[in-house]
Amino acid sequence: MNIQEEHYTKKISFMQSLLQLLPFNEWNDKIINEAEEKCGFAKGYSLILFPDGLAEIIKFFESYLDNITLESLNEQEVPNKIREKISLAVKTRIKAVLPIIHSKNAAYFALNPVQGTEVAFHSCDIIWQYAGDKSIDYNYYTKRGLLLSVYVSSILFYIQDESENYINTDKFIDSSVENIVQAFSQMKKLLDPSNIPIVRMFT
């Protein structure tokens, strides 16, 4: 095992410790110190793994949760429709991963707005990839931008949801995803030159 592989293994071990500690802690130096101790690292060793400190740790943690989400999705039956795939992925990302946290310790709230949006956008990208999206033009950012609003609002809804098995969160996600699918469809129609009257005259 080379140094890079060793560091990656230690990073994953560190993430696993954080996952166990987050239900009882906030994102601060205290949880970092406890995670180091839990892993058997020397105090301050996390700075060797994550030189940029807490922000880098949280970003890596969110990426780690994205991978857990994909692993969970790969064990489930894949829906046929794109909107169903997106709904399932959002539910899995939020409900299957966050229950152990189930608080504003969700990384989106622990980072500054720019960093929080960055990690949330990455999660939305992962979800769209799972749904089979391979767009590389303006559609890439449009789809992820629309889903970003659903993803963040769904986290907020889930945190406050007291319904049995979070059924209201499921309904909220389904409805929100349906809305962005319709919105994207309308945008495509508006941008289609054949829908412009003056263009239709010459076609």
Per-residue pLDDT tens digits for 88-107: 999 999 876 665 555 555 56
Return the structure tokens found at 185. 């469809």
Residues 132 and 169 in one domain: yes
* 193 Cβ contact list (under 8 Å, min separation 6): 199
Q: What is the pLDDT confidence band of residue 178, given thresholds at 50, 70 and 90?
A: very high
In a domain, 202, yes or no: no
- Decide which of 71 and 3 is more confident: 71
Residues 61 and 124 in one domain: yes
Distances in Å between the Cα of 5 and the Cα atoms of 1, 8, 10, 83, 136 are: 6, 5, 9, 37, 31
Residues 42 and 64 in one domain: no
Flag whether pLDDT at 203 surpasses 50.
no
**Which residue range(s) make up the domain with 115?**
55-197
CB 122 within 8 A of CB 159: no
Q: What is the pTM of this model?
A: 0.83
Residues 97 and 133 in one domain: yes
Closest by CA to 7, choosing from 195, 38, 105, 15, is 15
Residues 46 and 130 in one domain: no
Return the structure tokens found at 71. 């692993």
* 114 Cβ contact list (under 8 Å, min separation 6): none
Residues 98 and 169 in one domain: yes
Structure confidence by residue, pLDDT tens digits, 6-29: 999 999 999 999 988 887 888 889
